[in-house]
Amino acid sequence: MNLVAIVGAALGFMVLVVLHELGHFTAAKAVGMRVERFALFFPPLLLRKKIGETEYALGSIPAGGYVKISGMSPDEDLPEDVRTRAYTAQPVWKRIVVIAAGPFVNFVLAFLLLLVLFAALGPETVTNRVGTLERGYPAAGVLKPGDRILSADGQRGEPERLSTAISDNRCATQPPRRGCAAARPVTLLVERGGERRTVEARPIYDPAAGRTRLGFSYAAGPRDPLPFGEAVAITADRFVLITWETIKLPLRLFDAEKRKQITGIVGSYEITRQTILDDAAEVVGILGVISLALAVINLFPFLPLDGGHIFWSLVEKVRRRPVPFSVMERAGVVGFMLVAVLFFIGLTNDIGRLTGEGFDVR
């Protein structure tokens, strides 16, 4: 593994975590709450240093971070001089501001990163040359990286048109099953080493893509920065699209094929690492997407997520009296189970990709 890529991916995740928690930390300080600890990563703690009333710490489990505010639990035994600054002693609006500050930072960061990608670096373009080949797909047996695809079944044009020509070769059985081969092979005219040759292969059905594929990516072309106005428009479009797809994430639990698409921390890290190796500029966009997904997932209305705290604060506002802690605890079990299931499925899928077909970073 490339050390620079490993360190770069780790630093990227650290920045996202630190900025998210910094949002909570800054808002808590601003509204007068007492912050006991600001930690990067989870315990057991490796390093800690107290400055003023706040302890700054580094944990040993690199799966996030946290800000510990006095009185997050009503059962906490706090000194008399601290109780008035405790989380539960604050009005609802202050609590919502503090909790929402973390996701808000991630939303802003995501928009800025995507804007930088489109306005300063330019979106990725593709050529009609073969980039990477996927294990277990027909392309690995007939194509080589660098091959230039001139036509597919006699059709010439841009990569999108070539891909459509390939996927027009459908499975004989309908509805198609995962891995079924097309009824007839696709004929490709390719240029390799200055010589033209014709190759044939039967595309196979990929339910995640919803079409038949040969299993290769097109090599990236030069980047061309977009005018600022156009960059803002496309950033807003991607922002809404990614947000909506992330909101639908829990629904994937009920679809066997879509469940296999869920990616966890390991997968996000590996995609970032591979992207650094293949195209460092694309890392800006990848981290933007991860930051946006982190913000949306954190706003799901389940404890222990930020959205769960906001939800119960709003319930308290409507009821005009505090919600019993026992009720929130029971609801928190449901939220924790959902988060645990998503984490487990994501981790299982990530391990399967690491040991199997790998991650398709394009």
Beta strand 204-206 with 211-213 is antiparallel
Backbone angles phi and psi of 174, in degrees to 5: -130, 135
First CA to last CA across the chain, in angstroms?
19
Identify the active-site residue in 21, 76, 245, 282: 21
> Is 282 known to be catalytic?
no
Cβ atoms of 180 and 138 within 8 Å: the answer is no
Report the C-alpha gap between 241 and 237 in whole angstroms.
6
Whether cis (ω within 30° of 0) applies to the bond prior to 175 is: yes
- SS3 of the chain: the string is CCHHHHHHHHHHHHHHHHHHHHHHHHHHHHCCCCEEEEEEEEEEEEEEEEECCEEEEEEEEEEEEEEEECCCCCCCCCCHHHHCCCHHHCCHHHHHHHHHHHHHHHHHHHHHHHHHHHHHHCCCCEEEEEEEECCCCCHHHHCCCCCEEEEECCECCCHHHHHHHHHCCCECCCCCCCCCEECCCEEEEEEECCEEEEEEECCEEECCCCEEECCEEEEECCCCCCCHHHHHHHHHHHHHHHHHHHHCHHHHHHCHHHHCCCCCHHHHHHHHHHHHHHCCCHHHHHHHHHHHHHHHHHCCCCCCCHHHHHHHHHHHHHHCCCCCHHHHHHHHHHHHHHHHHHHHHHHHHHHHHHHCCCCCCC
Catalytic residues: 21
